[in-house]
Structure 1
Amino acid sequence: MGGEKNIKIIAEKNQLYVLPDSTKVWMQPGSSIRYAKAFMQDRRVWLEGNSLFEVQKHKGSTFQVYINDAFIEVKGTCFLVKQEDAYCSEVTLFEGEIEFNIPSTCQKTAMLPLQKLTYNSMDSQTQIDNIANISWENGRYNLKDVPLDQLIQIVSRMYHTDILMEGVHRDEVSFSGSIHYNESLDNVLNKIRFSLNLNIRKVDDRFILY
């Protein structure tokens, strides 16, 4: 692909970018997408970083997202791609149908809704885990009865921060609510605190729920 025929978008903050086919890309800071000017003839996107895609269906036209020596074949759907380091990528499917392709090994993995695939490009290994009770709707994660352990893991990953628990009966506690894609960490922690009747304190760069 020659540079003059490409469009590249770099997100300096959380932003929504709409592709020419009306596909929505919810981009996280520091992530970038690249696609051809003739996109409607060739719906391929090269992604660096983390973004959530709401792909519009177009009859007879597939949509592909390229990441780290692999690509995702899409059939009108909603999924999140996270690339936290040079070799590891995570793809979480919220609805619809996608296929994860590794050309070097000819491996294809069909994903079902509410599954997360982890891909390591060093050894071309993939692993699939089920996620529960989380959906995506127009800029919002909706969580229903998500166990506190899982919620803390999700929020820690979303905001690249350490959240610890002290003296909380984590197995007995679950959270229902929503998190907007550009909501501040303080807001999210306050929601958790009020909803579950917990306290919070900050020690250095860590947050402690108790």
Structure 2
Amino acid sequence: MIIGGLLFLSVHDETGVEKNIKVIAEKNQLYVLPDSTKVWMQPGSSIRYAKAFMQDRRVWLEGSSLFEVRKQEGSTFQVYIYDAFIEVKGTCFLVKQEDAYHSEVTLFEGEVDFNIPSTRQKTAMLPLQKLTYNSIDSQTQLDTITNISWENGRYNFKDVPLTQLIQIVSRMYHTDILVEGIHRAEVSFSGSIHYNESLDNVLNKIRFSLNLNIRKVDDRYILY
């Protein structure tokens, strides 16, 4: 378990008894839960779970993290986000929360059920599907992805259009990345990005792979 950059907090009840454990990621980090489930946490994200986690495998997530859930017969695993929760059946999936009202769940392998308690709506997800959830109106949208996968701490891309790739990288690193003077529809990227790879390494990888140039203007990166 990688612990550098993680902040651990204990949450107590009114009697002072320790009830929950909260973990906050200060940078891209891997955290391993007591059942060996791996949580690849993005900067600023946090998870909270009960001290008696092995008897009640529930996790409350703020921010964005990817879960590789260890399957246990007779034991469910649930991830709670704002106004909804994900029921897991031993799988690998990414949860992205840009704010309290918009969430995305991308399933790479296994099965999950996305649940909205207020409307009793349940959506069964299959591998290589992405669900978008708007908690304001409790609406969901299910789309299929075909060119992105996850394997042992890295995203693998196959013929991903440059426009889509830039959107993904921008969101991963919370950075503005622009493209100038390139016929985007004709350019695609194949390769991998490790979960804790630096932004400079990622941009150089894209630049060399696609024979592009890059410059930085203020806080923005421009590929051309």
**Do the structures match in fold with TM over 0.5?**
yes
Q: Deviations over 1:82-135 (max 9, x none)?
A: 111121111111111101000000000111111111111111111122222111
Shift of residue 174 of structure 1? Answer: 1.0
Moved over 3 A (4+): none
SS of the equivalent of 1:5 reads strand
- Separation in 1, partners of 2:43, 2:181: 34
Is the 8 Å Cα contact of residues 100 and 110 (structure 1) preserved in structure 2? Answer: yes
Q: In 2, Cα distance between the equivalents of 1:105 and 1:97?
A: 21
Task: Give the aligned partner of residue 157 of structure 1.
Answer: 171
Question: Aligned partner of 1:121: which letter?
Answer: S
Structure 1 alignment gaps of length 5 or more: none
| 1:177-196 pair list within 5 angstroms | 177-196=191-210
Contact persistence 1:93–1:114 (CA under 8 A):
yes
1:46 corresponds, among 55, 60, 63, to 60
CA distance in 2, matches of 1:38, 1:21: 11
Deviations 1:151-179 (A, max 9, x none): 11111111111211111121111111110
TM-score, normalised on structure 1? 0.96
Q: Give the structure-2-normalised TM-score.
A: 0.90
Q: SS at the partner of 1:193?
A: helix
RMSD (CA atoms): 1.3
User: Does the aligned pair in 2 maintain the 1:145–1:175 contact within 8 Å?
Assistant: yes
Aligned partner of 1:16 among 13, 16, 30? 30
Question: The residue matched to 2:78 in structure 1 has which SS?
Answer: strand
| Alpha-carbon distance in 1 for matches of 2:145, 2:179 | 22
Distance 1:50 1:195 in 2: 28
Paired residues for 1:21-170 under 5 Å: 21-170=35-184
CA distance in 2, matches of 1:59, 1:172: 47
